[in-house]
């Protein structure tokens, strides 16, 4: 702008001077110069405003560029906050396995559908034809999927849950041949006849403080399978709540835990009161007690009382290397089964008959106790191998309190039912208080490569040993319920880090007595059900599996 105006002024002045140089001309030129100066000043003011406008536009452009980034950062922060609090987080545990199960059955008296009272007494009770020993073996492919979920909407409230489906490959006839295939105590721990997702865990944890003592309260479907020490054989790094030696089954109830470490200065000390229900006394919707009458929905079934359990779980010490836990419990109204036998003609010496379970009934109460020690690392820096070795030993015991009642009769004769033992009199086949015990020990050591592990385990159970280990993940039956000797060896190894892993596992159970893994009445009789039915003498289970966890 200046480059154009200044030469123009100079040129006008020279023209005026060349025209005669008079005063009038000089004044006229001066006036023109003043006007031009005024105009320049106005133009400079306009230029200043233009510069300010340019700066404002530049500031707006810069602000506009920053805004999407800030909005995106704010949205990311909101998503992270939502995920951490309100959103449900899922995890996957999927296993495909090949499993071979073998059983050796002892000799006894097998029901054949006919009876002959003339059979010699040496064969036992004359109604049944004698049977010799037999073997049973089978190979199965299975899929097991557990979908875990958790959420924490607030700092002091947590939800945990898990859904499970466990099936054999293809179609099967399990539902036609087994009365208790999908029993609630192990519904996600045993292969089922369908591919239905079943509830495995669902509970909340509410955390607070009673003065200096932190506490946790919880209700729901408990995390009660693969507990302390038994998690090692399952290749699970963290055990569930109970001691796996005498309690390993799916269960509903509540708990209240008090952390006592701070007030006692004993490392890891806590006490947990547990309440549970294993059987609910109720009839269903549109139920019928007989073929003529409908019952009121969800009323008392008149025969099966509620089966309840209360226990105290204690962690006495845990410093990372040494961990000691114990429990004591009392169970009421344990369930037993009798048998209904209908003869075509009871007065005849021979004929046909039918046998059918007569349902559950209360056979008595039972108490139990367990004490377990686990050592994570043998010694103190003796060697890398011993530093990475895990050893455990556990003792458990139980005592029965039979109700001494006969709940069913044979052909209307209570005496006859009692004589044959069909009515389910007593508990574990006895009307006396019986005591059982079990020992359980094992070692878990590092393998040849990084992260692979070897394990060896042994357990023994006495004649009247009784555990709640129906949910143990072994198709041949619960090894920890064994009345006799049980041995196990396993090898776990990573394939893709810890996400994809493999396992080879072998279990052998040598039974000294019958009834190791059944219910609490006559079917749990260590001398054999009703003193005559054959039972499993030995069993083995080998499993090769691949597992995905993420």
CB 452 within 8 A of CB 462: no
The two tokens of residue 307 are 């089966």
Chain centre to alpha carbon of residue 549:
14
Residue 413 CA, chain-centre distance (Å), reads: 46
Please tell me the distance from the alpha carbon of residue 416 to that of residue 160, in angstroms, as a whole number.
52
Q: Is 124 helix (H, G, I), strand (E, B) or coil?
A: coil
Residue pair 434/464 in contact (Cβ under 8 Å)? The answer is yes
Q: By the 8 A CB rule, do 99 and 475 touch?
A: yes
Task: Examine the pLDDT at 41 and tell me if it is beyond 90.
Answer: no
- pLDDT of 47 above 80: yes
DSSP secondary structure code for residue 122 in this structure: G
Domain range for 61: 2-76
* 109 lies in the same domain as 35: no
Lowest mean per-residue pLDDT among 58-72, 317-331, 368-382: 58-72
Burial (CB count <10 Å: 0-12, 13-18, 19+), residue 450? exposed
404 and 329 inside one domain: yes
Residues near 180 by beta carbon (within 8 Å), at least 6 away in sequence:
none
274 found inside a domain: yes
pLDDT band for 532, please (50, 70, 90 cuts).
low
Token pair 């208790």: residue = 180
Which one of 76, 102, 117 terminates a domain?
A: 76
Asked if 157 and 204 count as a contact pair (C-beta separation under 8 A), the reply is yes
Indicate the pTM of the whole model. 0.79
Task: Tell me what the mean pLDDT of segment 48-68 comes to.
Answer: 75
Please write the tens of the pLDDT for every residue from 173-210.
887 778 888 889 999 999 998 999 999 999 999 999 99
User: Does residue 198 belong to any structural domain of this protein?
Assistant: yes
- Say yes or no: 51 and 198 in one domain: no
Cα separation, 112 vs 104, in Å, equals 20
Per DSSP, the three-state class of 273 is strand
Regarding whether 98 and 65 lie in a shared domain, the answer is no
CA 238 to chain centre: 11
- Distance, C-alpha 40 to centroid of its chain: 87
Q: Beta partners for 322?
A: 375
Highest mean pLDDT among 175-179, 222-226, 361-365: 222-226
Same domain, 159 and 200: yes
Q: Are residues 193 and 45 in the same domain?
A: no
Same domain, 140 and 191: yes
From 50, 76, 102, the end of a domain falls on 76
Q: Find the angle CA(166)-CA(167)-CA(173) to the nearest 5 degrees.
A: 135
Contact status, residue 442 vs residue 232, Cβ threshold 8 Å: yes
Mean pLDDT rounded to a whole number for the chain: 83
161 and 27 fall within a common domain: no
**CB 205 within 8 Å of CB 171:** no
* 478 assigned to some structural domain: yes
Q: What is the CATH number of the domain that holds 540?
A: 2.40.160.10
- 355 and 213 belong to one structural domain: yes
Residue 82 lies in a domain: no
- What integer pLDDT is reported at residue 87 of this predicted model? 82
* Domain identity same for 420 and 316: yes
Residue-wise burial string across 72-83, b where 16 or more C-beta atoms lie within 10 A, e elsewhere? eeeeeeeeeeee
3 state SS of 287: coil
Domain boundary among 11, 42, 76: 76
Lowest mean pLDDT among 155-169, 228-242, 288-302: 288-302
Query: Per-residue confidence at 46, pLDDT binned at 50, 70, 90?
Result: confident
Q: How far apart are CA 322 and CA 380, in angstroms?
A: 12
Query: Strand locations in 106-212, DSSP E?
Result: 108-110, 114-116, 129-131, 134-154, 157-168, 198-210
pLDDT of amino acid 106:
79
In this prediction, residue 341 carries a pLDDT of 59
The total domain count for the chain is: 2
- Same domain flag for 197 and 319: yes
- Asked if residue 83 is part of any domain, the answer here is no
Alpha-carbon separation of residue 28 from 12, 22, 154 (angstroms): 11, 10, 88
Tell me, yes or no, whether 219 lies in a domain. yes
Euclidean distance between CA atoms 218 and 161, whole angstroms: 13
Tell me how far apart the alpha carbons of residues 536 and 451 are, in angstroms, rounded to a whole number. Answer: 37
Q: Could you tell me which of 95, 213, 106, 93 has the C-alpha nearest to residue 163?
A: 93
> Do 310 and 427 share a structural domain?
yes
126-153 pLDDT, tens digit per residue, is: 455 556 677 888 999 999 999 999 999 9
């Amino acid at each position: 702008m200046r480059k154009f105006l200044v030469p123009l002024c100079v040129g006008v002045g020279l023209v005026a001077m060349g025209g005669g140089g008079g005063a009038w001309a000089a004044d006229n030129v001066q006036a023109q110069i003043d006007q031009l100066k005024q105009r320049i000043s106005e133009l400079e003011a306009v230029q200043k405003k233009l510069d300010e406008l340019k700066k404002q536009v530049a500031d707006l452009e810069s602000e506009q560029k920053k805004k999407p980034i800030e909005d995106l950062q704010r949205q990311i922060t909101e998503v992270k906050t939502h995920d951490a609090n309100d959103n449900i987080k899922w995890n996957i545990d999927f296993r495909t396995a090949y499993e071979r199960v073998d059983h050796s059955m002892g000799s006894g008296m097998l029901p054949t559908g006919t009876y002959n009272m003339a059979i010699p007494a040496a064969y036992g009770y004359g109604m049944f034809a004698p049977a010799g020993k037999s073997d049973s073996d089978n190979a199965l492919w299975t899929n097991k999927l557990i979908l875990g979920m958790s959420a924490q909407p607030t700092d002091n409230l947590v939800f945990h849950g898990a859904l499970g489906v466990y099936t054999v490959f293809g179609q099967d006839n399990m539902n036609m041949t087994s009365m208790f295939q999908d029993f609630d105590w192990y519904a996600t721990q045993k292969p089922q006849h369908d591919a239905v997702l079943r509830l495995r865990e669902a509970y909340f944890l509410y955390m607070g403080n009673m003065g200096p003592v932190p506490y946790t309260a919880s209700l729901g479907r408990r995390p009660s399978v693969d507990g302390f020490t038994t998690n090692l054989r399952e290749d699970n790094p963290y055990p569930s709540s109970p001691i796996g030696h005498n309690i390993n089954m799916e269960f509903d109830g509540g708990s209240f835990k008090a952390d006592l470490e701070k007030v006692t200065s004993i490392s890891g000390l806590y006490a947990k009161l547990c309440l549970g229900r294993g059987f609910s006394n109720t009839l269903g919707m549109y139920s019928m007690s007989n073929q003529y009458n409908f019952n009121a929905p969800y009323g008392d079934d008149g025969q099966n009382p509620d089966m309840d359990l209360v226990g105290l779980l204690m962690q006495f010490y845990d410093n990372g290397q040494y961990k000691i836990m114990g429990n004591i419990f009392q169970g009421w109204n344990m369930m037993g089964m009798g048998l209904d036998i209908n003869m075509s003609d009871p007065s005849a010496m021979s004929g046909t008959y039918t046998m059918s379970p007569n349902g559950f009934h209360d056979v008595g109460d039972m108490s139990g106790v367990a004490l377990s020690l686990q050592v994570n690392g043998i010694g103190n820096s003796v060697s890398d191998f011993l530093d990475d070795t895990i050893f455990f030993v556990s003792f458990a015991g139980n005592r029965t309190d039979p109700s001494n009642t006969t709940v069913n009769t044979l052909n209307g004769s209570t005496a006859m039912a009692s004589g044959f033992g069909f009515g389910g009199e007593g508990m574990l086949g006895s009307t006396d208080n019986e005591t059982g015990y079990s020992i359980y020990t094992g070692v878990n050591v590092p393998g040849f490569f990084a992260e692979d592990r070897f394990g060896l385990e042994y357990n023994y159970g006495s004649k009247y040993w009784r555990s709640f280990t129906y949910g143990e993940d072994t198709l041949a039956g619960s090894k920890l319920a064994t009345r006799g000797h049980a041995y196990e060896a396993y090898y776990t190894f990573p394939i893709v880090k810890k996400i994809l892993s493999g396992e080879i596992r072998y279990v052998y159970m040598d039974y000294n007595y019958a009834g190791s893994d059944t219910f609490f009445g006559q079917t749990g009789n260590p001398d054999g059900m009703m003193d005559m039915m054959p039972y499993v003498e030995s069993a083995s289970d080998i499993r090769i599996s691949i597992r995905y966890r993420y």
